[in-house]
Amino acid sequence: MADLARLSINQATTREQHSLAQAIAAYAGAGVTGISIWRDKLADCGLGEAAAMLKDHGLRVSGLCRAGQFPASDAAERQARLDDNRLAVDQAVALGAECLIVVAGGLPEGSRDLPGARAMIRDGLGAVMDHARAAQMPVAIEPLHPMYAADRCAINTMSQALDLCDELGPGLGVAVDVYHVWWDPDLQAQIERAGDRVLAYHVCDWLVPTTDLLLDRGMMGDGVIDIPQISEWVDGTGYNGLIEVEIFSAENWWKRPADEVIRTCRERMLSSV
């Protein structure tokens, strides 16, 4: 698993230091193989310019972040989100992304109906998958830690994500992000169940103490996640794609020089992944 040729850096890892254009140039210049792109940064850069830069620098796109956010309080907003998800599919195709990452969405404003939100997620994914299949763009559901169930993602375990894959059929898989799933006592079995539906693998670390549950992720090796063990399970599925470092770190890594962050990602890929 520890192979620099498989290293991708999610541009969130240097989002405070880099525009998308700067990230593409910096990652490629440091010998990094891939990048995962965020749609807000893509909007600032422009789709055509980003696609041309990626080609010029020879960078693979491990994923486009993000689609999803399906639950909404009224039909008009739900339709707008479906339209945006179809646009995200088209953007991912234009970038040559290896998958489109879905962060499914949480409770609509004012709602306490968690089963209802999950039903909207299922229906929203079902409505988008014909477009994704026609475009031959794999869609990866990323289960998020249960602390995000209310506001970001009501799909919180690999089991829930794979149930959706089973129900909705081909073209749909999962993104395994260690930050979100490391705690799950059923993780090994669910990774094995996923098999060739593992479409993305994201790494960082869980710090103790964690001072901010969104913006205090650790660099691999600095926390308590047994990343080599999870990597072994992911390898066992036959997944041989890019391994993506995704670190939200407002008080640490976002304040360091970008070249230091990139260098550390490369070092920890070898020592801690």
Q: Which residue has the tokens 């103790």?
A: 208
What is the per-residue pLDDT for 215?
A: 98
44-67 pLDDT, tens digit per residue, is 999 999 999 999 999 999 999 999
- The pLDDT of residue 265 is 98
Q: What is the CATH number of domain 4-272?
A: 3.20.20.150
Structural domain boundaries of the chain?
Answer: 4-272
pLDDT along the chain (273 residues), means of 10: 89 98 98 98 98 98 98 98 98 98 97 98 98 98 98 98 98 98 98 98 98 97 98 98 98 98 98 97
Q: What is the pLDDT of residue 2?
A: 65
pTM for the model stands at 0.98
